[in-house]
Structure 1
Amino acid sequence: MHIVLVCREYVGSARGGGIGSYMQEIARAYIAKGHRVTVVTASDNTKKQSETLTSDGIKIISLSGGDFLVPSVEGNSRVRKLRCLYRFHSYRRKLKRVIGSISDTDIVEVADFGAEGLYLQNLNVPVVVRLHTPQSLSIRSHGLVKPEWWQIYRTITLRAERDIFAAARYMTGCSQAILRWVSAHFDISGAKTAVINNPVSVSRINVTDKGSDGHKVIFYAGTISDTKGVGDLVDACVMLRDKGFDIRLRLAGKGGSFQTMLQKRVMDNGWSWIEFLGKLSREDVFSNYCSADVCCFPSWWENMPMVVLESMALGAVVVSTDAGGTGEIITDGFDGYLCQRRNPMMLSNTLHKALTLSPVGRNELKENAKQTIRDRFSIEKISTEMLEFFHEVIADFKQNHI
């Protein structure tokens, strides 16, 4: 089977994130099972296009003409920032042309992120829309995003997502939560759907536990933003320190205006116990998972977060929120801890519980976390489920395609 995976972000890109990590791991699994994989992604340098073949056998097509700007690559420019508008349709049409030209394609999976499937439903091969988290979902309210009149790009993207969902014939969700949300807000009754979780594989990473410096360390990895719950986490840690806990908070990930505001707050208060690590390599992120006393991901919404899966796979003590699909991963008190989103007091109490576990209780929870991942989220299990769904989709497409 020749599988084409489509998403604007991929591992190695300055824009890489959880979706890119998922694509890399699942692609490796498909190749190990004897299939061919082509990844179609976007080049950080929108003037350059390239094709590479990795040592794993993954063919990567990095397209030029992207509708974004990476200032560190192409420099900052107000005009270039408007690419999200004037290249929105041209880039997605280019995706269709390039994917249509790939020979012997059996099936295409396109991420919902970025509405890149807008023009892909008329290809002569089946297209599966993979639900990660559509931009239509309001992280704050869990309802539909209602853009302001001046938010032109968001309006265009939301309309594109609506059209993609209406036309979709095949769809997978990483969690029950995301499939329920999409079906509640869009008519996807015409689509064949399945819940297939994100897989996790950390066996390829050489992880070094750097140990702690004697303090209680809480580690966070992800975008430094309010909707990721980073502000709630800082507030919760302040409460713990007020109670006498010698907490060290380490924040890893890309930032923006929220991080700038948070850094000013940290400086104004003289909080030397908070460290901004920036964007780390996966190896360094994994090392921090292993050395931290607690890994905390208090997002206001997550579908099937890779940070939770990966940290649990490495035996971390994980504290997260029950918003979205995280509650489908963690069993509270058994293999991690869950608390209510946007509630710093409850988060502080939950962190206290995790930090004061007995050595026996801590080891038991860590082993339970690793076993949960092995039993339910292994790359072998998930890739098999996905390939079975792909075979069903291909058979259905051949039967009904005119």
Structure 2
Amino acid sequence: MAINSKTKTVILIAVTVPETFLSILKLQPRFLNGEFEVVLVCSPGANVLDIGENEGVAVNVVKMRRGISPFRDIVSIVGMVRCILRCKPEIVHSYTPKAGLIAMIAARLCFVPVRVHTFTGLIFPTAHGIKRELLIWIDRLICFCATRVIPEGNGVKNDLQRFRITHRPLQVIGHGNIAGVDTSYFSPNAIGLSKFAVELKTQLGIDSDAFVFCFVGRLNKDKGIGELMQAFAALPSNAHLLFVGELDQTAPVGADVLASIEAHPRVHMLGFLVDVRPALRVAHVLVLPSYREGFPNVVLQAGAVALPVIATDINGCNEVIEPGFNGWLVPPRDAPALQCAMRDAMQTSATKLQEMGSRGRERVQIRFEQRGHWERMAQLYRGMLPAD
């Protein structure tokens, strides 16, 4: 179906939870809706109405549950089929594992001509035994139902090929990531940001001579929170650590790790923040010790705020962070190596940290500017449509 002045191509974009549209993909649907008719689908939540207001598009609700849940997934597929039959999209595009499974099966059943799934991160590489095999076959099923498979980054692409998840051609969009970052918004010189950072630092009781590390993300067992706390516990007494993000109930950190976070006088739990910039501005270094990622947005956000990053040498992180250039890379699940990197950061001069941060911001501006990614997405969809 070609685009003309009277009729727009309908694109249905599906994610598992509404927070994805409220944070990572925020305003991308609104931009795309200028050329296409965009319809969004996600699980129910208290903030679903906010999505429609932000994006100016229709938002549909289909219950989807994270994790392995065959019966509930069948119910979700039926709900997605009904949504597709009602909206009649020419393109269905899914992100995140569960939305991919539900939306790709439903779109194939409904004979939607263009079915796209973006792998934002693979779960099976860190799983074991029967669960690992099941997750591999689920990803293969998603690829079988899709007509186009997009890896979020080159690391994800390599894993899809290495584990023979699909034989379809795979091409990363731009330099990777699914959203890009607004470097004007995430700027160290953004209006009012310094003031907000000072207020936050005062509120937390952090001294002027403190060295502040910041973690941003769900408090999930695969985020390396345990190793982070082990590494932090051995640092000098002027080190502080901010946790920005809510507890992940689907794969929570251990009770002992959570207890150590709550008991430590220099560890500050801020919970979920709509605006993470003040926390990033307070920090000297971002720390992301994940076991797995697709292409973490927070690394780009930190880079845009001119913040050096300590991250694990995994997919996505090692596509942005270059040791000595804009941060440090350490092996996953290695608390001693993480401690060494954090200690090294504390011993690095303020001038060098500033230089690393500036190089990081420049890299993000060149490779991951949000507007450029949105335009590449529009071009992607145009290329999937039949010619007049």
Change (3 A) 1:225 1:173: same
What is the TM-score with the length of structure 2 in the denominator? 0.81
State the one-letter code of the partner of 1:218: F
Does structure 1 residue 208 correspond to structure 2 residue 186? no
- Residue 240 of structure 2 corresponds to 248
Q: 2:93 aligns with which of 106, 109, 124?
A: 109
Matched position secondary structure for 1:223: coil
Gaps of 5+ in 2: 1-8
Contact 2:291–2:314 at 8 Å: present in 1 too?
yes
Change (3 A) 1:303 1:67: closer
How far apart are residue 29 of structure 1 and its match?
3.5
- Residue 30 of structure 1 corresponds to 32
Instruction: Return the alpha-carbon distance in structure 2 between the equivalents of residues 51 and 234 of structure 1.
Output: 35
- Residue 231 of structure 2 corresponds to 236
- Residue 41 of structure 1 corresponds to 42
Change (3 A) 1:173 1:53: same
- Residue 214 of structure 2 corresponds to 219
List per-residue Cα deviations over 1:243-293 (Å, max 9, x = no partner).
xx41111212222442532132356xx521122222x2221x221011111
Change (3 A) 1:187 1:134: closer
Matched position secondary structure for 2:94: strand
Does structure 1 residue 126 correspond to structure 2 residue 99? no
- Residue 315 of structure 1 corresponds to 306
- Residue 81 of structure 2 corresponds to 96
How far apart are residue 178 of structure 1 and its match?
0.5
Instruction: Return the alpha-carbon distance in structure 2 between the equivalents of residues 97 and 365 of structure 1.
Output: 51
Gaps of 5+ in 1: 69-81, 149-153
List per-residue Cα deviations over 1:150-197 (Å, max 9, x = no partner).
xxxx987654432122333201111011111112223522x3432022
- Residue 326 of structure 2 corresponds to 335
Instruction: Return the alpha-carbon distance in structure 1 between the equivalents of residues 49 and 353 of structure 2.
Output: 48
Instruction: Return the alpha-carbon distance in structure 2 between the equivalents of residues 258 and 98 of structure 1.
Output: 35
What is the TM-score with the length of structure 1 in the denominator? 0.79
Larger RCO of the pair (alpha carbons < 8 Å, separation 6+): 2
- Residue 175 of structure 1 corresponds to 153
State the one-letter code of the partner of 2:265: S
How far apart are residue 54 of structure 1 and its match?
2.0
Change (3 A) 1:236 1:292: same
Contact 2:231–2:339 at 8 Å: present in 1 too?
yes
List per-residue Cα deviations over 1:72-98 (Å, max 9, x = no partner).
xxxxxxxxxx99343211112221221
Instruction: Return the alpha-carbon distance in structure 1 between the equivalents of residues 304 and 50 of structure 2.
Output: 33
How far apart are residue 338 of structure 1 and its match?
1.5
State the one-letter code of the partner of 1:62: V
Matched position secondary structure for 2:42: strand
Does structure 1 residue 265 correspond to structure 2 residue 253? no
Change (3 A) 1:99 1:258: same
Contact 1:132–1:173 at 8 Å: present in 2 too?
yes
